[in-house]
């Protein structure tokens, strides 16, 4: 099967998933291609470049032409569109005639825009549904969010594929990793993700600044300009708040962590959360899509805590509770690892995606 993945972002969870999908699909014998921005690091697929710019209509028109050019030249069996911009540029009648179209929103864009624009995005998503053979989501919450906006089409919840052999519990003492990374605190909270409004890091920094826990450090790990962090926490930035920047390997930072913290305003389902759980690190996070399914399911022991979106005071309270109760952290750590192995098996996720492709192909061929 020839597959064309299409993504517009340059880093973060979407690219992590494109990389994982491509690697597993290529290993299974599929002919895997990816249309990506030139800035994206190596992905194990045949690369094709494009350069969409969200707020530049002419660049978007050029990107649409480029997508159609690549698709009609390759004649893939399936085009897998990742996120809103590729989902708009790639879901047209002419492109659907070339291949089966699978759309993966990776968090609908409703929360990323002002309320006045959310209705327009919902209408666009509903219109584009007519040119979609199948949709896949990362979690049940994401599917429900789309359905609440009238986006109703055949959907499969595939989950997040996380290599739980690679992302595994620490082999040495936590203090060893802290020392190697230059950390010096009894309690370390690590927040992994690109620095952005969506991820909520500046809100967390401001809450930490207002009441910094004694003997604790907060470390932000991920690409982006730390200026907003420094502005939100002028007294504690560089002291108990650190920005480690982009890292090729986030595992040492997770192994140094007492807990992981994710104060996101919205998510499809957080890859950083899943990787932390796989490393046996409890997660304190906001109630975004997929949080309760993975961290605090009502019928299972918790692997951390889930708090209302935007309630940074409660986030700080949960962090403080875990600083004071190391036995709670130890209990949640054991649950975290078990939960990740059960929920995020790459083999299970990739089998679901392959089945979606087969279904999409059947629908596409029947409609021709």
Give the per-residue pLDDT at 74: 95
- Which phi and psi angles does 260 have, rounded to 5°? -105, 145
Give the per-residue pLDDT at 55: 81
**Domains in the chain with CATH codes:** 2-161+346-367 (3.40.50.2000), 174-343 (3.40.50.2000)
Pure H helices in the chain: 13-27, 57-74, 84-89, 93-96, 115-128, 140-148, 174-180, 201-210, 227-232, 251-255, 271-278, 291-294, 312-324, 326-343, 346-367
Q: What is the mean pLDDT of the chain?
A: 94
Give the per-residue pLDDT at 112: 76
pLDDT tops 90 at residue 299: no
Give the per-residue pLDDT at 118: 86
* Residue keyed to tokens 């600044």: 209
Rounded to 5°, the CA angle 97-103-107 comes to 155
In whole angstroms, give the CA distance from residue 248 to residue 271. Answer: 15
**Who has greater pLDDT, 364 or 112?**
364
The pLDDT > 90 percentage for the chain reads 86
Give the per-residue pLDDT at 311: 98
Model confidence at 32, pLDDT cuts 50, 70, 90, reads very high
Q: Work out the end-to-end distance of the chain between its first and last CA atoms, rounded to an integer number of angstroms.
A: 19
Q: What is the mean pLDDT of residues 184-211?
A: 96
Q: What is the pLDDT of residues 319-347, one digit of tens each?
A: 999 999 999 999 999 999 999 999 999 99
Model confidence at 13, pLDDT cuts 50, 70, 90, reads confident
Contact assessment for residue 70 and residue 35, using Cβ atoms and an 8 Å cutoff: yes
Model confidence at 92, pLDDT cuts 50, 70, 90, reads confident
**Who has greater pLDDT, 11 or 39?**
39
Q: What is the mean pLDDT of residues 238-260?
A: 97
Q: Which two tokens stand for residue 52?
A: 């969409």
Give the per-residue pLDDT at 133: 95
Find all residues with CB under 8 Å of 12, minimum gap 6, and list them.
193, 194, 271
Give the per-residue pLDDT at 91: 92
Model confidence at 263, pLDDT cuts 50, 70, 90, reads very high
Give the per-residue pLDDT at 351: 96
In whole angstroms, give the CA distance from residue 259 to residue 213. Answer: 14
In whole angstroms, give the CA distance from residue 44 to residue 282. Answer: 31
Q: Which of 23-32, 90-99, 110-119 tops mean pLDDT?
A: 23-32
pLDDT tops 80 at residue 141: yes
Q: What is the pLDDT of residues 45-89, one digit of tens each?
A: 999 999 998 888 898 999 999 999 999 999 999 999 999 999 999
Find all residues with CB under 8 Å of 220, minimum gap 6, and list them.
191, 195, 201, 205, 226, 229, 241, 242, 243, 244
pLDDT tops 80 at residue 96: no
* Residue keyed to tokens 């620490």: 170
pLDDT tops 80 at residue 93: no
Contact assessment for residue 161 and residue 24, using Cβ atoms and an 8 Å cutoff: yes
Model confidence at 187, pLDDT cuts 50, 70, 90, reads very high
């Amino acid at each position: 099967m020839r597959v064309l993945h299409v993504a517009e972002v340059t880093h973060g969870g979407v690219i992590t998933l494109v990389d994982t999908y491509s690697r597993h699909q290529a290993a299974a014998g599929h002919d895997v291609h990816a249309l990506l921005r030139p800035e994206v690091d190596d992905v194990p697929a045949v690369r094709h470049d494009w350069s969409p710019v969200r707020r530049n209509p002419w660049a978007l028109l050029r990107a649409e032409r480029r997508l159609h050019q690549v698709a009609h030249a390759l004649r893939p069996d399936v085009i897998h569109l990742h996120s809103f911009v590729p989902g708009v540029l790639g879901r047209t009648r002419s492109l659907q005639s070339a291949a089966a179209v699978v759309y993966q929103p990776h968090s609908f864009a409703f929360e990323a825009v002002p309320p006045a624009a959310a209705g327009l995005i919902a209408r666009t998503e509903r219109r584009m549904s007519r040119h979609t053979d199948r949709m896949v989501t990362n979690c049940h919450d994401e599917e429900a969010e789309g359905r609440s906006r009238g986006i109703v089409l055949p959907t499969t919840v595939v989950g997040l594929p996380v290599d739980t052999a690679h992302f595994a519990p620490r082999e040495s003492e936590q203090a060893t990793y802290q020392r190697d990374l230059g950390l010096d605190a009894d309690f370390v909270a690590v927040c992994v993700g690109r620095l952005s409004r969506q991820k909520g890091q500046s809100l967390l920094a401001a809450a930490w600044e207002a009441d910094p826990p004694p003997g604790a450090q907060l470390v932000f790990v991920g690409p982006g300009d730390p200026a907003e962090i420094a502005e939100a926490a002028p007294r504690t930035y560089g002291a108990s708040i650190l920005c480690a920047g982009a890292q090729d390997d986030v595992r040492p930072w997770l192994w140094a962590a007492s807990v992981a913290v994710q104060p996101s305003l919205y998510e499809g389902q957080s890859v950083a959360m899943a990787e932390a759980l796989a490393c046996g690190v409890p997660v304190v996070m906001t109630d975004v899509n997929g949080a309760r399914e993975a961290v605090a399911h009502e019928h299972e022991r918790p692997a951390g805590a889930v708090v209302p979106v935007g309630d940074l005071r409660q986030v700080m309270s949960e962090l403080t509770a875990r600083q004071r109760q190391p036995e709670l952290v130890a209990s949640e750590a054991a649950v975290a690892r078990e939960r990740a192995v059960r929920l995020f098996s790459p083999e299970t996720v990739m089998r679901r995606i392959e089945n979606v492709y087969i279904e999409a192909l059947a629908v596409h061929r029947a409609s021709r």
